Structure 1
Amino acid sequence: MTTTEAAVQPYTLFRVEVVRSERISPRMLRVTFGGPDLARCASAGHDQRIKLFFPLDGQTEPIVPAGPGWFGEFRAMPDDLRPPIRTFTISGFRTGQRELDVDFVLHGDLGPASRWAGGAKPGDRIAILAPDARHTPITGYEYKPGADTDWTLLAGDETALPAIAGILSAMPDDRHAMVFLEVSSPREMRPLDCAARVHVTWLSRGGAPAGGGALLDAITRTEFPSGRPYAWVAGESGAVVALRRHLVRERGLDKKDVYFSGYWLLGGAIE
């Protein structure tokens, strides 16, 4: 490995701008970003994780330090300059066109990401921390079932929908999966592209707040197939922890066969 190759970090900061946006459901907005920097970007697919930096009020783009020590400098910035940062999943990536899609859930609480996305227009600029195409291997995704997995359980609320859609689109046709998706209303339900043998259960909260236990209730009542499962669970932090506890303690799944992530916290914020 050359010195140059050794210096390449798994993730790089990319400066991008909005190309277009599309409402794909009443509460889900897809924003497409573009820019020459994306020629160096990469994605492993699945639930590929990235971080977005948003401008503060009065800024045309977020102020994010550059260079190898950028993160320490970023954390040391004063509150009135440090941009909000949130974690998202790549919903689509087209290297040739240098375009990257991110799906935003338009929350009623109007947090920084939802508020920015709701008003985003072509030319608006943000920064994205994403995998560097020069680094091997690509990192930052968590869906990694073992070779001896017989079937997959995917569960989450609408914040996990982009990641679950990405996992399903890359799933081989010989895989068997059970999917549970909790959304605010039937209007948020949409077809999911997948070649595998998949059974999808949509759960509507009827406008009630997320994190109320709909996923846990539905999965508790479900009979699992035989064989070794692999579970991927994400969404509101409290609901995810409860579901993981059920899978390990009551269903007997091995802890290493359960990936879980609190994408957001009811009443709080997760970067």
Structure 2
Amino acid sequence: MTTPYKVIFPILAFLVLFNACQSGVADKGDEQDFTVQLQCQAISEDDALPQSAVYAIVNQNKVKLATISSCDSIPPASYEDYEIPANALAAAGGWWGGAGDYFYAIREDTVIAFYQGWADESQEDESFHYTRIGAFEDGMFNLQIPVRKEELVGTYALSREAGSYILFVGMKEDSLVAEYFQMDGILPPVNQLNILMSSLERKEAAHLVLNTTTLNFTSELGKGQFLLEKGGAAVVLQEEEVDGHPLRMEKILSKDYSIPVQ
């Protein structure tokens, strides 16, 4: 006669084996396959001031990491030269004008981590000063990238029939500087702004003391803030008012950009 124990034991063994198989499938599913690239794209090939964008691509997802002066892919055979881990998934960067910027992507547990480093011919050590700037996890990028002052350089404007405003932002050594103009009527096409500026009197020159985390600044123009948005960049001067609101000027994207009239 078959005892109850002889029947129950095979059932229990089957259940334990089934659960173990299920657990193994889940663990295998957690090990995602990633295709990772660091892509360089030239923005300006001007010999005096070259610029390239650095993009991180994970599978079909793409995000801009930075704008740097020189950028090329770094092959694995050269990783050691740049203090990049041998198991990095991709690397890119370049040297120009006495300084270099470098990036690499590496797998850390279940995420793809991104690191940014720099080197300068005047530095006293030989390090590339890498810091973690973000990761790709759960199908999305999570980046903590400090803004480079160079990315804020450009011309900002507000064009109105009742009067227009222009702010030129540039670099002097390692500081942001600005020139502020006002004029009657609407602004001309962008490619004619330089001609216009030669006939206008500058209202104010300013040194912008910038907090690179919040993008707030103080200056001879008072307090202000740079805004980085999906459609571009803007600057707000808190102590200059237009129609009862702080003056906001949009960054002009290119010489072919038509300044909207408000």
Higher relative contact order (CA 8 A, sep 6+): 1
* TM-score of the aligned structures, taking structure 1 as reference length: 0.25
Structure whose alpha-carbon radius of gyration is higher: 2
Higher helix share: 1
Higher strand share: 2
